[in-house]
Amino acid sequence: MDSVHRQTVQIVNRLGLHARASSRFVQTAQRYAADVTVNVESRTANGKSIMSVMGLEGSCGKDIEIITTGEDATAALSALVDLIAARFGEAE
C-alpha cells in the first residue's frame, strides 16, 4: 500500500494561484510519478491539472493542503511546499 504524505501551507504570494503560479505548480507536480491532490477550503483538485488547480481560487493568505501518494511522494511534496514558500518564483 502506498503511504500518504500531506502538508498544509499558506499561500504567500500576493496574487495567489493565478495562471502563472498554477502553471508552475502543475509543472513541478508533473516531474514526479506521485499522485498529487490539492485542497483549498472545500475545493479539491488534481495537482497535475492546470484547470483543476486554477479552479481552487487559492488567494494570498489561504491555506493549501497538498497530499501526495505513490512513488517519490515525499520528494514531490517537498518540492511543492518549497515552491509555495518561494512565492512561485514571484517577487511578492
Q: Which residues are known to be catalytic?
A: 18
One DSSP character per residue, 25-82 reads: HHHHHHTSSSEEEEEETTEEEETT-HHHHHTT---TT-EEEEEEESTTHHHHHHHHHH
Instruction: Write phi, then psi, for 87 (nearest 5 degrees).
Output: 60, 30
77 CB neighbour count, 10 Å cutoff: 22
> Is the separation of the CB atoms in 40 and 62 below 8 Å?
yes
